[in-house]
Homo-oligomer: A and B are copies of this chain.
Amino acid sequence: MEPKKILNISVDCVVFGFDITNKSLNVLLIKRFLKSEDAKEVLINDYVLTGYHVYENETLDDTATRVLKELTGLTNQYKKQFKAFGDPDRLMNEKDLAWIKNQEFNLRTTTIAYYFLLKTEDVDLKSNTYQPLWFPVSNLPELGFDHEKIILEAYEDLKVKCLSEPIIFKLLPDKFTINEVQDVYESILGIEIDNRNFRRKLIKKKYIIALDEKQVGISKKPAQLYMFSKDIYQKMFKKNYLISI
């Protein structure tokens, strides 16, 4: 039996995935589709984030973990609770009201929003019952509820956070090239970075470890592979604040 739901508190998950092949920061969305009762008219045809009510007996973090697992099968991904959204009218537009009409749903629901960072290749889309799809953050489809706002605020938080914490490595494979690190920064920040300068600065960092390996499956000029050492990073920054403002 399903545990008791808290009807006016939900968790919504912004699942960010980096598509390393297409150098694109994407977000995972679920289709919302509804026809009129006579089936002649399409009432709703848009996308939403994945989310669910919080159960009475679980923490907010547990809810987020559960929702991600149900959508993607994945556990132990980087997650961050970044904001609660509780405007009185956040579920009140016409389509949203039609959508939740037959659901056990409190119209004044506050949602606690999380974002996750992972690699698009880690999500198996084909055998997924929710049929989620990846969309570039820079090119979102029409979104239901206040989910566009939630995604954009998650994205702003990610932009700020990626400049002060080494979270971008959550979007990359364990072994990566310097160009791939640059690709992630450029995708997130929407800027072009001078390659030589970036490379020079990055390989100087003690927590970027050069491996005795090169890319495989690249016919010419396979690039040097690196890894990120969380241990070294944490030791370096333990009390070593960098005042940059």
Chain B residue contacts of A6, Cβ below 8 A: 8, 108, 110
Cα separation A239 to B243 with both chains bound (whole Å): 19
Task: Say if the beta carbon of A32 comes within 8 Å of chain B.
Answer: no
Q: Which residues of A contact B (CB under 8 A)?
A: 6, 8-9, 54, 56-60, 81, 83-88, 108, 110, 112, 159-160, 162-166, 185, 189, 191, 193, 205, 239, 241-245
Q: How many Å from the CB of A18 to the closest CB on chain B?
A: 17
Q: Is the CB of A191 within 8 A of B241?
A: yes
- How distant is the Cα of A185 from the Cα of B89 in the complex, in angstroms? 40
Contacts of A241 in B (CB 8 A): 159, 163, 189, 191
In the complex, chain B residues whose CB is within 8 Å of the CB of A54: 86, 110
Decide if B245 touches A164 in the complex (CB within 8 Å). Answer: yes
Question: Are the C-beta atoms of A166 and B245 separated by less than 8 Å?
Answer: yes
Roughly how many angstroms separate A54 CA and B85 CA in the complex, as a whole number? 12
Question: B residues within 8 A CB of A164?
Answer: 160, 163-164, 244-245
Checking B8, B108, B245 against A163 with a beta-carbon cut-off of 8 angstroms, the contacting residue is B245
Q: Can you name the residue of chain B whose Cβ is closest to the Cβ of A165?
A: B245
CB pair B58–A88 under 8 Å, yes or no, is yes
Assess whether B108 is in contact with A88, with CB atoms less than 8 Å apart.
Answer: no
